[in-house]
Amino acid sequence: HIHSPQRRAVCRRTVDFDMLGSCSSAALRAVNVGIRAGRAAQLRLVHTMRPEPHSAASLMDIGTRRIFSEEHDIFRQSVRRFFQEEVAPYHTQWEKEGQVSREVWKKAGEQGLLGLCIPAEQGGIGGDLLSAAIVWEEQMYSNCTGPGFSLHSDIVMPYISHYGTPSQVQRFIPPLAAGTSIAAIAMTEPGAGSDLQGVRTYAKRDGSDWILNGNKVFISNGWMSNVVVVVAVTDREATSAAHGLSLFLVEDGTPGFIKGRKLEKIGLKAQDTAELFFEDVRLPADALLGPENKGFYCLMAELLQERLLIGALAMASCEFMFEETRRYVMQRKAFGKTIAQLQVSPPAARTPSR
């Protein structure tokens, strides 16, 4: 598993194999153990030599932070190139249109950027969270907020992966990972935002089916979505609203499922955000995602990663803005100097008189 020339150089050993040929098996094992221990120690040394961002030339440099490996660096290079070549050149036009193209979703799927943390046996990539975090960061470093990849891959897909039946996983995960299908989650309502216990969208039983009524607002990926995880009340007699919520998989084109207008926003203009309406939408029994009346607990378990994701996106966005500011003040000239050279130093502290 040692790929780079640097690591191979670190781990190289000179061994007299003719001499080892006369050694006992126990001695050979001892030599092998010693070599492996030495290699592990020097690999750890190489790993700890990675600089933290504050010691690098740029906060966005590749090869920083000890939590990442060289394999992560190679992946980051490909992700950065993807956003530079497939997203950034078209983002201004997408902002005018209020959505990105479906082609960029398919290209992201072909590149292996969707469903990174979903197990391979379910149809995902089977990667780690750090790889997903690289996609989050590189999108912010490209200053392109349009593609809703992180919501799709690391907020919505885990619901299906963790709570879906085998048939639901088989049906939805592969096309979502391929980018041929786009996912959204519908929690927010006109009268219920972060307070999930205020949800009014209602699903009632009708034989083995469910009849869904209600509306959602501010739904990211909503306009382009092919499948939506919808939060709805299923037990109005529950002791609390938290005990009466369930999750449903609602597909685009289902009769009664209506997408309203794309909402105009002051930011994230290329990210489609829509109103969704459900008017007597008949859903089969297998549209229920997870246990009936346990949706609130599913949401509480998954929202932890959503908060982590939002924090990482915000930090990466701040890093990009810092580097843009630094580049500007180092290049922009006024009065014969760069702006950075015109920075006013604070006056020297004065010792107060007695």
The set of residues, in sequence order, having a beta carbon less than 8 Å from that of 281 and lying 6+ positions away, is 211, 212, 213, 250, 254, 255, 256, 257
Distance CA 328, CA 315 (A): 20
Active site includes 324? no
Catalytic hit among 71, 95, 292, 306 = 306
Q: Find all residues with CB under 8 Å of 237, minimum gap 6, and list them.
A: 244
Neighbours of 113 (CB within 10 A): 28
The phi and psi torsions of 351 (rounded to 5 degrees) equal: -75, 125
Q: Collapsing DSSP states into helix, strand and coil, what is residue 298?
A: helix
Q: Rounded to whole angstroms, how far apart are CA atoms 176 and 154?
A: 11
SS3 17: helix
DSSP code at position 201: -
What are the residue numbers of the active site? 306
